[in-house]
Amino acid sequence: MKNKLWLIVLIVSLAAAVVSGINVFRLSREYQKGINEYQQLESYASVKEEAPVQEESTEAEETEEESLIPVSVDIQYDELKKINEDFAGWLYYEPLDISYPIVRGNDNDYYTHYTFEGEKNSSGAIFMDFLNKTDCSDYNTIVYGHNMRNGTMFGSLKKMLNDSSIQEENPNFYVFTEDKAYMYEIFAVYLTQADSRTYDLIRNEEEQQGFLDYVDETATWRSDKVVSVSDKVITLSTCHGLHSNNRTIILGVLVASEDR
């Protein structure tokens, strides 16, 4: 009887191990597919980052307006639109290896399960809140991405919670659309919940100020940057922990924009 019981336990244990191994393999293969897709998409966006060089200028050069944004991305916009008509722009933050296309769908669910190219994959896509305008003209533009275990997508954002030197030494990230380049300065980092004020639709100055007050009260890290109701901000949002209601938030304020 004991031998039979032992055999049953062994069989169940082996079956569980096999199922677990299959799931790990499936997840690993899915992760790799997502990585491969987004690496291929980077070929549609050529990033050029240069520190401004102070040199003597000719009279002709002096008449040209100097760019305030030290990063440029040559986006093959039409080609990306052919791949996905929801393509809205490109997000770039070099210190955390964030360089991804942004999409905006008809809801905030689809792109949590599907990649830029429409493949069902746990990597999902980097997507803008469907209530936001794609020209980043809302007071708070919200951009979502998965907290991937391998650090891809928005999986690296959580580093800012424990290492403020990242945002202090590299305060700017960039969004590029078809005709505009936007530079944002990171001014707040914090943990919140999925139903918090961070995600409220802001309709007037009173709600804008309420949002800023909430940020000041909640932030685990806050720069000395003064942000007002006349500014435009962007929220980078990702999950914090598996099956958790917590969210990691990185907030940036628009400090420069230029025509492309």
Which has the closest alpha carbon to 87: 111, 69, 109?
A: 111
Contacts (Cβ under 8 Å, ≥6 apart) of 148: 31, 34, 122, 123, 154, 155
Q: What pLDDT score does 18 carry?
A: 45
d(CA 225, CA 188): 9
Q: Mark residue 187 as left, alpha or beta (left: phi above 0; alpha: psi -120 to 50; beta: remaining).
A: alpha
Task: State residue 172 phi and psi, 5-degree precision.
Answer: -110, 135
Could you say which DSSP state residue 47 is in? Answer: E
Q: Classify the C-alpha dihedral 149-112-232-97 as positive or negative.
A: positive
Radius of gyration of the chain (CA): 22
**Model pTM score:** 0.86
pLDDT of residue 241: 81
pLDDT of residue 6: 61
Looking at residue 71, what is its pLDDT?
A: 95
C-alpha span between 143 and 91 (Å, rounded): 10
In eight-state DSSP terms, residue 82 is H
CA atoms within a 13 Å half-sphere pointing along the CA-CB vector of 106 = 1
Closest CA to 105 of 121, 91, 126: 126
Q: What is the pLDDT of residue 3?
A: 60
Domain parsing of the chain, residue ranges: 2-47+69-259
Q: What is the pLDDT along the chain (260 residues), one digit of tens a residue?
A: 556 666 555 565 554 454 444 444 455 667 788 899 999 999 999 999 765 544 454 444 444 567 899 999 999 999 999 999 999 999 999 999 999 999 999 999 999 999 999 999 999 999 999 999 999 999 999 999 999 989 999 999 999 999 999 999 999 999 999 999 999 999 999 999 999 999 999 999 999 999 999 999 999 999 999 999 999 999 999 999 877 899 999 999 999 999 98
pLDDT at 34: 86
Beta partners for residue 212, in sequence order: none
Question: 164: closest CA among 222, 215, 214?
Answer: 222
Q: What is the pLDDT of residue 30?
A: 75
**CATH number of the 2-47+69-259 domain:** 2.40.260.10
Residue of 133, 48, 134, 44 lying closest to 89 (CA atoms): 134
Q: What is the pLDDT of residue 22?
A: 44
